[in-house]
Amino acid sequence: MRQRGWMLVVAAVLLAACGGKDDKPAEAKATAVASKADDDDAPKAGARGVTLKKADQAKAGIRTKELELQSVASETVAYGRLEEDPSFGFVLRAPYSGILRSSTWAGLGQQLAAGTLLGTLEGRMTLPERLSINSQLASARTELNAATEAQKAAQAALNRATALNADNKNVSDRVVEEAAARVAGEKVRMAGAQTLIQSLENTSEVRQIRLERGGEVLEVLAQPGESVEQGAPLLRLGQPEHLLARIEIPVGERVPGNGEVRIVPAGHEAQPAILGTRVALGAASAQGVALLYRLAHGAPDLRPGIAVTAYLPQAGGAGKSLVMPRAAVVQQEGRAWVYVQVSDERFDRRPVPLDRPAGNGYVVTRGFADGDKVVVTGAQTLLSEEFKSSNEADSN
């Protein structure tokens, strides 16, 4: 009996131990399910959305606007590239022949103001030639001084003769005429000497090169130390903020009138379109017709060669389309997105195309419906909150 009792006690202990082990896994399983449910509720980057309480929405200043059909003008899309406006560019040329000298010669892309001293040009002469020029200059200057003094004396004599001739003809008219001829002769000597001096100085002196107009250096056509001829191009300058858009109209498309068009440079799709005014009609080719439009304004990063999309107005009136406000668009992962409020506290992130600008927004044809509430203030805050929550969920 005593042995049987011990066996019963051992069995009871083992049963109790097994029961304890079964309880622990059950509890752990319940905890894991709850944790997974919490993870599922946490927004992830792939979910493209975020949940934000009303109080937090108020703090962030979240504001929405309902999409609605708007009247959108009929347009034709064409493509082209930016190019320099030649009316704002110019080429600096050498004012005379010589050797270009400069310790701070202009560099590509440098902004230069009007009146900037760029360098100098010195005459191309050997030492014997320079000595000969200096000798001729000295003689010409001596001649000029002598002619100047002689002209002064001749003028004084002419003044006396004129006065005496007027006083009862104390000197004859012939004397007055001879005195006047001497004055005229000395003036001719002076003019000849001055011309010679100027010519010799232009050959021998170092002359400055200054800009008459300001601009940005677009091309460097000569370097210090080079020998250049008079009229040779030294620099090409322009004003990149003044640009033209060359738009190609394909064969068969109607050439628009002279009104303004909207031009969107590549990389600026999220910014308002730039208005362009037609300034020229290019010659027709097998590919179509080229139209030149002057941009109403430029931008620091706009340069000739950048591809552009032009929206040309067409006859036929306007149609109704959904227009996504530009204020609703945010950029992430190289794409454009908007947040749509789908419940009181839930905002879905959806991609939005930017290929059809219209006024202060973009025409959308799919993915959105009339009456959708899109976030127009605070969208960037929602984007930050979404990825913040996603990173926290991933770290847990």
pLDDT in tens, 219-233: 999 999 999 998 999
Q: Quote the tokens at residue 247.
A: 């738009």
Is residue 377 a contact partner of residue 63, using CB atoms and an 8 Å limit?
Answer: yes
Give the 3-state secondary structure of the chain: CHHHHHHHHHHHHHHHHHHHHHHHHHHHHHHHHHHHHHHHHCCCHHHCEEECCHHHHHHHCCEEEECCEEEEEEEEEEEEEEEECHHHCEEEECCCCEEEECCCCCCCCCEECCCCEEEEEECCCCHHHHHHHHHHHHHHHHHHHHHHHHHHHHHHHHHHHHHHHHCCCCCCHHHHHHHHHHHHHHHHHHHHHHHHHHHHHHHHCCEEEECCCCEEEEEECCCCCCEECCCCEEEEEECCCCEEEEEEEECCCCCCCCCCEEEEECCCCCCCCEEEEEEEEEEECCCEEEEEEEECCCCCCCCCCCEEEEEEEEEEEEEEEEEEEHHHCEEECCEEEEEEECCCCEEEEEECCCCCEECCEEEECCCCCCCCEEEEECHHHHHHHHHHHHHHHHHC
How confident is the model at residue 340, as a pLDDT?
94
Long-range CB pairs of 282-285, under 8 A, 24+ apart, other chains included: 282/246
Mean pLDDT is lowest, of 30-34, 184-188, 370-374, 390-394, for: 30-34
Confidence of residue 62 (pLDDT cuts 50, 70, 90): very high
Which residues, 6 or more positions from 333, have their beta carbon under 8 angstroms from its beta carbon?
Answer: none
| 178 vs 99: CA distance, rounded Å | 49
pLDDT in tens, 314-324: 766 667 788 88
| 94 vs 99: CA distance, rounded Å | 10
Confidence of residue 20 (pLDDT cuts 50, 70, 90): very low
pLDDT in tens, 338-348: 999 999 999 99
Is the confidence at residue 7, as pLDDT, over 90? no
- CA 176 centroid distance within chain: 73
pLDDT in tens, 84-102: 888 888 999 998 888 899 9
What are the φ/ψ torsions at residue 204 (nearest 5 degrees)?
-105, -30
| 347 vs 341: CA distance, rounded Å | 4
Mean pLDDT in the chain? 80
How confident is the model at residue 27, as a pLDDT?
34
pLDDT in tens, 240-264: 888 999 988 877 777 776 778 888 8
